[in-house]
A and B are shown apart, each in its own frame.
Chain A
């Protein structure tokens, strides 16, 4: 434990600002993955343990497109939509067969998908870790805000994720599609009785979740190691986020992701050797006090 450095940090504006922006960097990427996980659970009632796969696919596709075309925007699009397409195929081929099935069966299928896609990535891109490289635009010194430091690329990432959060909230709250989605989450039988195609809704929601995970992977590719199995650690974290925030709640995913981000950055100062443990203790506490999560609907 090193509580001194934690308290001395709270005494300095620059430190608080730096650590808070770092919390946002970690949290917002996590949010992109976790929100897909939570959407899929809220509507399809499937805990998609294979969600990390789409994060990995997004990263690899972005890397390949960036290194062949040199265009970063194109790489982002490829990562997001590529993952969405693969997601759509997987939903049709496998996921759609396990809706409403024994949860053990769902876990098993997801586990199989992780095994298969990690090996496929190894077959296609090789087992080596890869680095995509930072686009030239962002190869600039970090900016200083009130003495706190933030790299421009991370500011860009936070902005993209924040924009997505807003768009998502608007779509769910204001559009007809959002209404149908909310209704389908509540009572799928009624929705389909009204002549709305729930099969298409489910497929779309699943693909949208994968798109967000793929985009997160593409955004992470310039700074994180791209390798088979990279989806795993992000899966565990986003899983914790959704449990803390409440399965099915978008606001919960955002708050949970930011909480974990802050816990990580400030925890690194105060508890350098038990940072990870803090996360699990927090998760146990939330589950015990409020099993459905901070923003979850009271579970049955």
Chain B
């Protein structure tokens, strides 16, 4: 009995001792797991498009707060480090190298546009850290297999998707109203040229009797559109397509109003329904056809409206197209870390392939990181007409993702990507 007692006592003591040891050790274990993970983000914080870079940073900060409140990435609290790339590719490359090599960032959220994102992609190829592009819409970044690397993803809408959805929408109106003579007017750089060519191609496919009677290619950041507008007037088209964006679009509308361009000709401007433009233009014409960029009324869900309002509450302005993309990227990182239960690059990259997350920005409440080319699909995409006051674009016709993906695949084949 005594033996027994003592044995139990000994066992109890062992258990107690073990428990105590575990308890003593626990903070160490917890601390090791809780070791902060640093995430670096280069983006454009100065110069002409600083507003977009700042809105990207805002969205990341807002979403990372939530991630940290929920315990961080695989238990590790996140520390964000933001750097200005001044919109120069060589500076973006340098800053990313510095963030990884000197500051010890394990993940890069790349808030660079166009050429900057390609420079960052090359650094990611070299240094092999997990990278998620959040601002570059150029399709080749993910579509071209020569550029693709296993550790880089893209959480951005794509010009080719917008073009299919836009052309389907425009073709319907063109057929209804008999709009056959079209003019295009887009900025003279890769995004402008590619997106316009794609739109025109699909429009002709959907509405074969459409012809293009005039093309204008103003420079990016051109202050004056007089010659473009008068050229448009000369061509006298029945409809106009443009993918001018941001401050350039504001000036284009202001100057076009003087010539009364928008009162008589239907105008299809994919980048119109963007809060920064909608709120800046003083005399917004009624009924401009536009794609969605970020608008809190599409998708018309409480989650989306709540997110837009929360952002506005926090930063005193509406989110931009770049904001939702960055917010979604953070959600993808959080979901991937959870699925992989790790922050290891290879494990997270694998988790990201084909990952579907719940998101207020999804067409049906979900966005998928397509495995084959590491870019997102099923995000909200649609076209509608604008009104000069809130909610700016009340009725949006959603795009058809089945059709989009079908035509995108054909497009990739034509480019020799697959």
Contact = CB atoms under 8 A, between A and B. Distances in A.
Q: Please determine if A and B sit in direct contact within the complex, based on CB atoms under 8 angstroms apart.
A: yes
A71 interface: no
Contacts of B227: 19, 22, 26, 264-265, 267-268, 275
B130 interface: no
B246 to A, nearest CB: 7
A223 B251 contact: yes
Contacts of A276: 219
Interface stretch (B161-169, B229-237, B287-295): B229-237
Interface stretch (B134-142, B149-157, B257-265, B345-353): B257-265
Contacts of B214: 5
Interface residues of A, number: 47
Contacts of B260: 141-142
Interface stretch (B48-56, B57-65, B326-334): B48-56
Given A129-B246, A129-B247, A142-B259, A225 B51 contact: no
Contacts of A128: 51, 276, 280
Interface stretch (A78-86, A164-172, A194-202, A228-236): A228-236
Contact of B231 (A142, A153, A268): A268
Contacts of B216: 268, 272
Contacts of A273: 188, 217
B255 interface: yes
B32 to A, nearest CB: 42
A220 interface: yes
Contacts of A229: 47-48
A191 B188 CA distance: 51
Nearest to A272: B217
A25 B250 CA distance: 19
B282 interface: yes
B356 interface: no
Contacts of B282: 131-134
Contacts of A234: 223
A100 interface: no
Contact of A127 (B54, B217, B219, B248): B54
Interface in B173-195: 188
B228 interface: yes
Among A141, A151, A228, max chain B CB count under 10 A is at A151
B279 to A, nearest CB: 9
A134 B217 contact: no
Contacts of B247: 129, 225, 227
Contacts of A275: 219, 227
A287 interface: no
A96 to B, nearest CB: 30
A294 to B, nearest CB: 22
A127 B51 contact: yes
Interface in A97-132: 119, 122, 127-132
Nearest to B47: A229
Contact of B251 (A138, A149, A225): A225
A223 B216 CA distance: 19
Interface string A212-224: 0000000010111
B22 interface: no
Given A134-B283, A230-B223, A273-B217, A18 B276 contact: no
Interface string A175-194: 00000000000000000000
Interface in B288-345: none
B371 interface: no
Contacts of A122: 46, 50
Interface string B43-84: 000111011001000000000000000000000000000000
A138 B280 CA distance: 19
B280 A269 contact: no
A124 B219 CA distance: 28
A154 interface: yes
Nearest to A138: B258
Nearest to A262: B227
Contacts of A149: 230, 233, 259
Contacts of B198: none
B15 interface: no
Closest 6 CB pairs of A and B: A129-B247, A133-B282, A151-B258, A268-B227, A225-B247, A127-B50
14 contacts: A22-B226, A127-B46, A127-B50, A129-B247, A131-B251, A139-B257, A149-B233, A224-B224, A224-B254, A225-B248, A225-B250, A272-B216, A273-B217, A276-B219
Interface of B: 46-48, 50-51, 54, 188, 214-217, 219, 221-224, 226-228, 230-231, 233-234, 246-248, 250-251, 254-255, 257-260, 276, 280-283
Given A128-B280, A267-B227, 19 more contacts: A5-B214, A18-B230, A25-B224, A127-B50, A129-B276, A134-B257, A138-B258, A142-B259, A142-B260, A154-B226, A154-B258, A223-B224, A223-B251, A224-B223, A227-B48, A230-B223, A272-B216, A273-B188, A275-B219
